[in-house]
Amino acid sequence: MRAPCNMPMQWPTKLHLRRSAAALAGGVLALCLVADGEAADARTRVLLNGVATPVVFNDGDSFRVLGGPLTGAKSRLSGFNTLESHGPVHQWGTWTAKELYVLAKMATHNARDHVWECNSDGKTDGYGRMLVFCPELAKEQIRLGFAHAMSVDDRPADPELLAVQREAIAARRGMWAHGVPAYILTSLHSSEEDVEGDGVYNRLVSTVDGHSIKWKHDIKYEECQNICHLGYPVDESRVSAVADRLRRDHAALVTGLDDDAVRRTVRGFAAERHVSTPATAAQQGPLEALLLDWAAKGEFGAAQGQPESCMIHVDFKRRYGGARAVCLR
């Protein structure tokens, strides 16, 4: 039996999302927004490596296997990312957090509404989830503006998915209807999560080519604290001056980069305060530390950064159930 919330997909207009958010707040959509453990009617199936497999989609980019030899396995769908669906935590442009929350839930129901062909080689991500690629699901979620293309490192995302995303952005579809930040803040980690002494980071994903940046920090976040990634105006004359100074006084930090690459790196830092594409990973930390020091001393100008993409921090253990954080209720 199909879940009673499943319905033909329509383009999400501003009015539609305003009404959906209001309904969400009033509890009208409560039966649609069932939790994983209560989602008996939300189960569907995928063709996983050619085998019909019962699953339940926890959100628009992950599912849990309900039957067969992989019963209980949790998966993460690779190549794209949907917004967090545990509560109204994302915000950018003129969107409200509740409206983007509705979009996250629409992505979940879109995934549940079809049978997708998926494949996996058994590899897992850093959380132990099986990595799975569902090509048509990835394209459909991105086409509708329910997801964005993503890679987990500094390499661009899949070219085909990026082409679909560019079309969705041009049409201002789904999440792109009311603003397109340079980077989307997709995950937050507070300093107390660092149990091995390696530091923590927040993940930022480029809306241009899908590459990821690890926004490293040592800050302890409070529950329900709103964290924003800031964008800065770029002074091209200062970018040129900093690039020249790097090549002259700190050549080891830009070894392997030609003049254009150094300038692109400095310009990217000036706009986002992160170094995303150094010649080697070993150069990234020292180069970013140096540029942050120069920025603090005014080398990039005195203009203040403006919120670009924001996200509310809630520890994983406080996202679900009766003990969930007050900002998610």
Residue 104's SS3 state is helix
Q: Within its chain, how far is the Cα of 21 from the centroid?
A: 21
Question: Order of strands, edge to edge, in the sheet holding 51-59?
Answer: 62-65, 51-59, 44-48, 116-118
For 153-180, the pLDDT digits (tens) are 989 999 999 999 999 999 999 999 999 9
pTM assigned to the model: 0.84
Angle at 211 between CA 204 and CA 296, to 5 degrees: 50
Residue 139's SS3 state is helix
Closest by Cα among 66, 16, 69 to 45: 66
Residues of the chain with pLDDT under 70: 1-41
For residue 196, give the amino acid letter. E
Q: Please count the CA atoms within 13 angstroms of the CA of 120 that sit on its side-chain side.
A: 21
Residues 245 and 290: beta-carbon distance below 8 Å: no
Residue 149's SS3 state is strand
Q: Residue 314 — φ and ψ, nearest 5°?
A: -140, 125
Per-residue confidence (pLDDT) for residue 41, from 0 to 100? 54
Per-residue confidence (pLDDT) for residue 24, from 0 to 100? 42
Closest by Cα among 110, 156, 155, 157 to 136: 110
Q: Classify domain 14-181 at the CATH topology level.
A: OB fold (Dihydrolipoamide Acetyltransferase, E2P) (2.40.50)
DSSP per-residue letters across 188-230: ---GGG-SSSS-EEEEEEETTT--EEEEEE-PPPPTT-EEEEE
Structure tokens at 230: 């800031």
Q: Please count the CA atoms within 13 angstroms of the CA of 31 that sit on its side-chain side.
A: 6
Per-residue confidence (pLDDT) for residue 42, from 0 to 100? 76
Per-residue confidence (pLDDT) for residue 33, from 0 to 100? 44
Per-residue confidence (pLDDT) for residue 279, from 0 to 100? 78
